[in-house]
Structures are given as C-alpha cells and as structure tokens.
C-alpha cells in the first residue's frame, strides 16, 4: 500500500499531525509536507486545520473510506501470498468467542475436519471487536460472535444471525448472594469480572459508541472494582476464589456447573444478544463457504 495513504490514515485516526508524526517516526514538517502533496495530487483539501488538531473534510472522509478498503485488500493479499509460499492454499482461518466454541463451534469444526482431513485450520479466540479487526485486515475469513451494535459502515461485512442468547450473572456456588438470598440490586456491591472486554485499540470500528456506553453504565463499570481478564480459564479460577460476579451467556451454564459456578436468578430484563457469523462481503472460497454452512447448521440446531 502506498506510504502516503498509510500516513494519511494515521493522521485521520489520531486527528493530530504531531502525534501522527511521532507514531510514524517522522518529523512534523515532513509529514505536513507529505499530506500537502497528497492534497495537491487530488486538488482538494483533505483536512480542516484547527487549533488542537485536524478534522477530515468530505473529500478526506471519502479518501479514508477508500484507503481503508485498499489497506484491507493489501493485507489480505499478503496473507494469501504467505499461504501460497507455504503451499497451504486451502486453509480455514476463523475466529470465535470462548463461549461459542463450547456451545457449538467446536462441534461444527470437528465435523468439518472429519469430512475434510486435508484442510489446514487456523483458529483465533477473542473479543468480537478484536476478531472484527482481524477480519477486515484479512487475517481471518470469518468469525462467530455477538452482533456488534454501532459497528462502522466502513467495515464492509455481512452478519448471519444464528441464535438469541440471554446474559446471566455467574458466581461461585458459595457466593454470599446465594447464601444470603441477596436482591438483584446487591450485585453492584461486588467486583465485576469482565471476560475479554472491549479494548480501546479497536474503538475505531465503532461508529455509534452510545450502545457500548449504555452497557457500561448499566453495569456501573466506573463505580465498582473491575477485573478485566482475557482468558476464560483464568476467569473461572478467579470466580472460584473471590466474590466477583461475571456477566456471560446463559448458554454456558452447564459448562460452568462443572466448576461449581452457577447463574444468579435473573429477571425478564436481562440483556439478550444475537449471535451469528461475520464475514467480508467479498465472495468466499469453497472451503470457507463450506465451514460457514456447517456453522449455520450447528448454530440453528440450538435455536430449534
């Protein structure tokens, strides 16, 4: 990808030429000159200069959209080239949240691997924003996760809904709320354990931050002790040795029961989310399309 476009994207993301220059390892005058040359090549202003930084003009917004698409295609090309070098042209590159691996993705992948033993597999676990970033940069072909509310339209992806899942609050079976039959409002008195929480690194993928902010307010994240853990296994360990409360899909109740972790009684207002498959709008190659249909079949069995 052309370096002038890369520099433009960094300035557009940070909104400050000085910060962008530092990030890129350039002097501010050099980066300013390069941006002016790019503007001259299009004969339009790309940024509005302000006292505390810069903002994109409508021309800049258009270039950002197209440059991000070029970057995604370039990254995808590099990964495909690497696969060709390794003679691994038929490879499933997919992502999933920990919960969906246990609920149905593991079954789908086992069935697919049994029927296609010669195809390589790359499996990524993580938060849905992290997996979305990997998807649009060509690092994976699809992933299973919650629908991302407020997702930027620039991501150019499709979402296939599979099932609805309700959120529950999980605690160890010896938790005071269970022993004392505490009320729902009492949950706010205990630490909140968040498994693979959203990272600031991927906030550029969100066009409308309000739904995420409302979720944080609902859980009173800023008002209580919070454990942020990027491992489900470690989260289970912490849940069994503390009084923390962990919001997690209710469909994992049977799995957690093996570790003596149980859901608190939930009311009808518990949050419900849609789980499905994200993939790029580009046509999928045959073997990726096959695993997509295998995931759809296994996911839909749960909703019947």
d(C-alpha 237, C-alpha 228), whole Å: 13
Give the per-residue pLDDT at 210.
83
Question: What is the DSSP code (8-state) at residue 245?
Answer: B
Give the per-residue pLDDT at 98.
94
Give the per-residue pLDDT at 7.
92
Taking CA atoms, 227 is separated from 128, 194, 238, 244, 253, in Å, by 19, 6, 9, 8, 20
Residues with pLDDT less than 50, the chain:
87
The domain segmentation of the chain, as residue ranges, is 3-85, 92-303
Which CATH code is given to the segment(s) 92-303? Answer: 3.40.190.290
Q: The domain 3-85 is classified under which CATH number: 3.10.290.10, 1.10.10.10, 3.30.1050.10, 3.20.10.10?
A: 1.10.10.10
By CB neighbour count within 10 A (0-12 exposed, 13-18 middle, 19+ buried), where does 84 fall?
exposed
Reported as a single tens digit per residue, the pLDDT across 281-303 is 988 888 999 999 999 999 888 86
> Of 60, 13, 6, 11, which Cα lies nearest the Cα of 201?
13
Longest dimension (CA), the chain: 70
Reported as a single tens digit per residue, the pLDDT across 225-266 is 999 999 999 999 999 999 999 999 999 999 999 999 999 876
Reported as a single tens digit per residue, the pLDDT across 195-208 is 998 888 888 899 88
Give the per-residue pLDDT at 82.
74
d(C-alpha 210, C-alpha 204), whole Å: 14
> Of 151, 91, 119, 108, which Cα lies nearest the Cα of 278?
151
């Amino acid at each position: 990808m052309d370096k002038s476009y890369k520099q433009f994207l960094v300035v557009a993301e940070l909104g400050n030429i000085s910060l962008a220059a530092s990030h890129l390892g350039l002097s501010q005058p050099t980066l300013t000159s390069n941006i002016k040359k790019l503007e001259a090549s299009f004969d339009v202003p790309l940024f509005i200069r302000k006292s505390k930084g810069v903002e994109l003009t409508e021309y800049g917004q258009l270039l950002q959209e197209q440059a991000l698409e070029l970057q995604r295609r370039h990254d995808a090309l590099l990964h495909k080239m690497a696969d060709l070098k390794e003679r691994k042209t038929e490879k499933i590159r997919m992502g999933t949240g920990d919960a969906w691996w246990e609920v149905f993705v593991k079954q789908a992948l086992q069935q697919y691997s049994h029927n296609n033993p010669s195809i390589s597999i790359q499996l990524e676990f993580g938060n849905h924003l992290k997996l979305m970033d990997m998807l649009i940069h060509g690092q994976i072909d699809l992933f299973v996760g919650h629908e991302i509310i407020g997702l930027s339209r620039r991501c150019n992806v499709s979402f296939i809904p599979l099932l609805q899942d309700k959120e529950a609050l999980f605690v160890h079976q010896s938790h005071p709320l269970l022993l004392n039959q505490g009320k729902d409002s009492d949950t706010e008195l205990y630490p909140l354990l968040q498994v693979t929480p959203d990272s600031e690194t991927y906030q550029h993928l969100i066009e409308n931050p309000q739904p995420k902010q409302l979720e944080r307010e609902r859980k009173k994240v800023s008002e209580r002790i919070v454990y942020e853990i990027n491992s489900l296994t470690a989260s289970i360990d912490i849940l069994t040795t503390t009084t923390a409360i962990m919001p997690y899909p209710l469909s994992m109740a049977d799995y957690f029961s093996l570790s003596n972790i149980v859901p608190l009684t939930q009311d009808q207002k518990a949050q419900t989310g849609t789980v499905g498959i994200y993939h790029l709008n580009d046509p999928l190659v045959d073997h990726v399309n096959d695993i997509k249909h295998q995931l759809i079949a296994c996911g839909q069995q749960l909703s019947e």
